[in-house]
Amino acid sequence: MAIKLLHVEDSDVILELVDIALQLSGGFEVLSCLSGRDALSKAEEFKPDVFLLDYMMPGMSGLETLRLLHELPGLEGVPAFFFTARCEEDFVTRAIASGAKGVFFKPYDPLKLAEKIKFALAK
């Protein structure tokens, strides 16, 4: 059974590259959203197994998006990962404290991302 992943990223190029890589790796069904608001409008119906969220987005940050996604019925315990270029230690600490299971950093190897997500989910 495929892992249902809700991917939120404001860069359409990164969104498409990550989604292609995840789908090619097998084992993922991906719903792509270009904003937190878009994700909030689609998440309940999609019923994701995991969130992959960009941290820095206009309008609604990844932290705010995660908080609101976890308030939706049935999505309270969905594991989340941030995908960001920010690599300061205090950011990682804040991300984990906000309910994220982990952080993946840009730039990234798209061919290894699926493996990293699966490994982190298994922990």
CA 58/CA 118 separation, integer angstroms: 28
Q: What is the CATH number of the domain that holds 7?
A: 3.40.50.2300
Please tell me the predicted confidence (pLDDT) of residue 123. 77
Give the pLDDT confidence score for residue 87 in this predicted structure: 66
β pairing state of 3-8 and 102-105:
unpaired
pLDDT of residue 88: 67
If you write DSSP's letter for every residue of 20-85 in order, what string do you get? Answer: HHHHHHSSEEEEEESSHHHHHHHHHHH--SEEEEESS-SSS-HHHHHHHHTTSTT-TT--EEEEES
Number of domains in the chain: 1
Tell me the backbone φ, ψ of residue 40, rounded to 5 degrees: -65, -30
Domain containing residue 101 = 3-122
Backbone angles phi, psi at 73, to 5 degrees: -55, 130
Q: Which phi and psi angles does 114 have, rounded to 5°? A: -60, -45
Averages of pLDDT over each 10 residues, the chain, 123 residues: 94 90 88 97 97 92 95 96 78 84 81 88 84
CA-CA distance, 86 to 57, in Å (whole number)?
A: 12
The pair phi, psi for residue 76, each rounded to 5°, is -60, -40
